[in-house]
Amino acid sequence: MTRQLLATPDQYRALVDQFDTFLLDMDGVLWQGSKLIPGVDRALARLRALGKRLIFVTNNSTKSRASYVHKLESLGLYGAAPDDIVGAAYATACYLTSIGFPKDKWVYVVGQQGVVDELTAQGFQACGLEDTGVPFTGMDDLAAIQPDPRIGAVVCGFDGHLNYTKLAKAHTYLMSNPDTLFLATNPDVCDPVHGRTFPACGAMYSPLVASTGRSPRVVGKPNATMLDVIVRVHGLDRTCMVGDRLDTDVRFGLNGGCQTLLVLSGVTTEEALFSQNAIAPHYYMASLGELQYIP
């Protein structure tokens, strides 16, 4: 049975009794933009009082795990440690660790500080941020962009400072050596901001796909690479994935064999849930905040 509506405290209690661990998407589940979704603070406290493990899962690659703890606390959500956060940048660094990516190679990052922080936290050498703000004055600038045998991987995340110098360098590293790994933190082509959408990581690596003819290994939800990291670090027994998106969060949980709970506090409406049959969460409810009423 799927797409079961949970709407009463007894139903909430029956849900949480089935699980030891909740994987929680954040944007659209805990907050919308910079505002806490009402009741989520009390709901998380109630889940913890019931002995549940909470792991926060995000495709956002711009912030480190420590900065997510700060973001949670800034909205009144206390009790999370950096190890409770699994972000796409962290998962990407874990992937490189898992394949034994050599520590004497460099990772060229088309992305922001969060990606670099997670890579360096696992002992990797990362560069690319130094190309932020480098002006492009004409095609002759490109003579200075040369293949670099020290570069062993190109990692793309969301990059609000994307520029042509970064694209040209990443293109050069990927084209000059077919062994250069090509990774992307997450596949989202848009992020919701202020009630609209804006281009996101999945859009930003597309120029490199077009220019090189290569496709990156995409780490984040709904892909199995991110789930592998969670499995290895935390285990997945009696786990429920909670999210607001069908095509990333719910698919991610289903791909990993988890039970899934869709909340309607983010991008998916009840109408959208029932207007398609491709992705069906096990449960859905109005908002995670409702779990504050668990008896």
Catalytic residue list: 25, 27
**Tokens 């034994």 map to which residue?**
100
Give me the least distance between CB of 70 and a second copy, in Å please: 15
Among residues 129, 60, 99, the alpha carbon closest in space to that of 217 is found at 99
Give me the least distance between CB of 142 and a second copy, in Å please: 5
In three-state form (DSSP H/G/I as H, E/B as E, the rest C), the secondary structure along the chain is CCCEECCCHHHHHHHHHCCCEEEEECECCCEECCEECCCHHHHHHHHHHCCCEEEEEECCCCCCHHHHHHHHHHCCCCCCCHHHEEEHHHHHHHHHHHCCCCCCCEEEEECCHHHHHHHHHCCCEEECHHHCCCCCCCHHHHHHCCCCCCEEEEEECCCCCCCHHHHHHHHHHHHHCCCCEEEECCCCCEEEECCEEEECHHHHCHHHHHHHCCCCEECCCCCHHHHHHHHHHHCCCCEEEEECCHHHHHHHHHHCCCEEEEECCCCCCHHHHHCCCCCCCCEEECCHHHHHHCC
The vertex-175 CA angle with 185 and 158, nearest 5°, equals 20
- Enumerate binding residues for a second copy (CB under 8 A): 133, 135-139, 141-143, 145, 159-164, 167-168, 171-172, 175-176, 189-191, 193-194, 196-200, 202-204, 206-211
Please say which residue, 17 or 196, places its beta carbon nearer to a second copy.
196
Give me the least distance between CB of 217 and a second copy, in Å please: 17
Please say which residue, 24 or 156, places its beta carbon nearer to a second copy.
156
CA 64, distance to chain mean position in Å, is 11
Please say which residue, 112 or 292, places its beta carbon nearer to a second copy.
112
Give me the least distance between CB of 121 and a second copy, in Å please: 22
Please say which residue, 135 or 295, places its beta carbon nearer to a second copy.
135
Please say which residue, 23 or 201, places its beta carbon nearer to a second copy.
201
**Tokens 């941020």 map to which residue?**
129
221 assigned ligand-binding residue = yes
Give me the least distance between CB of 242 and a second copy, in Å please: 23
Token pair belonging to 182: 């090509």
Bridge partners (DSSP) of residue 4 are 283
Please say which residue, 37 or 156, places its beta carbon nearer to a second copy.
156
Give me the least distance between CB of 41 and a second copy, in Å please: 22
Residue set of the binding site: 25, 27, 221, 244
Residue set of the binding site for Mg(2+): 25, 27, 244
